[in-house]
Amino acid sequence: MCGHESIHWQARRLFEPHEDWPRAAAVLANLACLAWNQGEAAKARAAFERCLELYRELNQPVEIADCLQILGEVIIRQGGLERARDLLLECLAIRDRLGDQSGTVSAAEVLAGISFKSGDVTHAVHLAAAASAIRARTGTPIPVGRAHVYDATIAEYRSAMSDADFEAAWAFGDALPPGSPARFGRDRRIIALPAWDSTRL
């Protein structure tokens, strides 16, 4: 890292003369992750925001979805739940349209965490169960080293409800049809997908 020079300007200085924006975006994302791992949350968020702008300009939906989720997780740590929710809903919409089942599971579980932190435990369980159903249907495993975190999260959801309410909420989420997590938004209502031009994929 280059002293007080912003991450954005580091990437721009390296790649702008060559107009190599795809590589600039990739390097910027890596630098943003490094800043986040070093505890520089504000710098990481600014870099991810710029990275998202670049990927939108480049019309790269896979990278847009990845960046939306990572940026959402950064903002969750900063307490911006509503902004993070919007990012994750857009991420889910894109992953659903791409047919990215593994990504849909991951984003739905992050969105469940947002609902839980917002006090909507039932919605959190709905989303967690829907994600679990996709895992079972597609054979998508819980990432290595994350099983204990997953188990602790589900236990936390369960402890916030009666057993009967938890089982009912889980059964509801488990029964949602494929693709539902991308449309299952806030306040337990089915919502329209965020605008996205599928002809550009």
User: What mean pLDDT is reported for the chain?
Assistant: 80
Other beta carbons within 10 angstroms of residue 174's beta carbon come to 16
Report H helices in 16-40.
21-37
Task: In whole angstroms, give the CA distance from residue 59 to residue 171.
Answer: 38
- Contact (CB, 8 A) for 72 and 87: yes
Distance CA 33, CA 31 (A): 5
At 76-123, the pLDDT tens digits run: 988 899 999 999 989 988 988 888 988 989 999 999 999 999 999 999
pLDDT at 185: 53
**Backbone torsions φ then ψ of 47, nearest 5 degrees:** -70, -40
Q: Give the pLDDT band (50/70/90) at residue 167.
A: very high
Q: At residue 36, what are phi and psi to the nearest 5 degrees?
A: -65, -45
- Does residue 6 or residue 201 have the better pLDDT? 6
Residue 5 has pLDDT above 70, yes or no: no
Q: Do the Cβ atoms of 131 and 111 come closer than 8 Å?
A: no
Can you give the pTM of this predicted structure? 0.78
pLDDT value of residue 188: 47
